[in-house]
């Protein structure tokens, strides 16, 4: 019958049991932010690579015309 004392004190137990731990919702939000930053950096790198390749293609076209 010791489990009967658990009902109604969920918040108290959570305060003591999970002290110092990150909540699940906070962890999920942090992971979303980290993924966004990773994806943004990758997209930026791909964009610069495309721009560099485009400049090279344009330079090659100019060289052939001369």
Could you please report the per-residue DSSP string of 14-57?
HHHHTTTPPPHHHHHHHHHHHHHHHHHHHHHHHHHHHHHHHHHH
Instruction: Break the chain into its structural domains and give their ranges.
Output: 24-66
Enter the pTM of the model: 0.42
**According to the model, what pLDDT value does residue 3 have?**
60
Q: What is the pLDDT of residues 13-26, one digit of tens each?
A: 777 777 888 889 99
């Amino acid at each position: 019958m010791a489990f009967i004392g658990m009902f109604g004190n969920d918040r108290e137990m959570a305060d003591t049991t999970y002290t110092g731990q990150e909540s699940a919702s906070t962890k999920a939000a942090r992971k979303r932010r980290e993924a966004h930053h990773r994806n943004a950096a990758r997209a930026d790198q791909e964009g610069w690579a495309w721009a560099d390749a485009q400049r090279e293609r344009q330079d090659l076209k100019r060289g052939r015309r001369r």
